[in-house]
Amino acid sequence: MAVALDIETTGVKMNEDTITCVALVGEGWNACWHMGPGYNHMEKRELLRDCLNNAQSIIVYNGALFDIPFLQRFYNFEDGEVGPWMMKLIDPFYSARALLGRGACPKLSQILSLNGINPKTSSGLEAVNMAKEGRWEELADYCLNDTMVTYDLIHNRKEVNWVGCVAYEPHSVSQWKLV
């Protein structure tokens, strides 16, 4: 079973910023929660752990460098728990960056557009504003939508068009080729 994951945060500084929303998507199901007032997000910690432990693959966009480390710090997961998750990641951002260099990684919205997938409903910067302004349901909708389109991009397609390269069966870095 493949699981897609996305988070939203108050910013990009690992030691200063915090998570505002988490979304998970699998075949025929999804889960999403925000960190708004009165919402006990810590009760979702075990759901998150179980989903990631039981997934055969974890689909993320920039999750190797961002989402997973933020989740580890926020939910206080041990290195021994997180290591196996990292081994299961399918992360086109990380793969392209490793192959093509740091500047070769476009935004998710660009990749979605190249692949004929409906664009994102907002942006990461606007997600920060949604949390600051208490627009929690809107934030959750945005985060869940991002997770769903990322799942569609990777899990439901045989070929992914990329800026500067094409991934065939994008489940392995070795299967990427320059175009």
Q: Which CATH fold would you assign to the domain 2-178? A: Nucleotidyltransferase; domain 5 (3.30.420)
pLDDT band at 105 (very low <50, low <70, confident <90, very high): low
Helix (H, G, I), strand (E, B) or coil at 120: coil
Average pLDDT, integer, range 48-71: 92
pLDDT band at 5 (very low <50, low <70, confident <90, very high): very high
Kindly list the domain boundaries of the chain, sorted by start residue: 2-178
pLDDT band at 119 (very low <50, low <70, confident <90, very high): low
| 17: amino acid identity, one letter | D
Per-residue pLDDT at 54: 95
Instruction: Compute the distance between CA of residue 167 and CA of residue 18 in angstroms, rounded to an integer.
Output: 33
Per-residue pLDDT at 15: 84
Whats the size of the chain, residue-wise? Answer: 179
Instruction: Compute the distance between CA of residue 153 and CA of residue 117 in angstroms, rounded to an integer.
Output: 8
| 34: amino acid identity, one letter | H
Q: Is the pLDDT of residue 7 over 60?
A: yes
For the beta sheet containing 159-161, the strands, ordered from the edge strand earlier in sequence to the opposite edge, are 159-161, 165-168, 176-178
Higher pLDDT, 48 or 106: 48
Per-residue pLDDT at 11: 85
Mean pLDDT of the chain: 80
Which tens digits make up the pLDDT trace of 77-101?
Answer: 999 999 999 999 988 777 666 665 6
Residue 169 token pair = 């069966």
Query: Which of 40-54, 70-84, 98-112 has the least mean pLDDT?
Result: 98-112
Q: Is the pLDDT of residue 13 over 90?
A: no
pLDDT band at 56 (very low <50, low <70, confident <90, very high): very high
Q: What angle do CA 85, 144, 150 make, to 5 degrees?
A: 60
Residue 23 token pair = 């979304």
Average pLDDT, integer, range 146-159: 78
Please give the helix or strand (H or E) that residue 103 lies within, else none. none
Residue 12's closest CA among 149, 128, 122?
A: 128
Residue 111's closest CA among 158, 150, 156, 57?
A: 150
Per-residue pLDDT at 141: 92
How many other CB atoms are found less than 10 A from the CB of residue 41? 17
Q: Is the pLDDT of residue 126 over 70?
A: yes
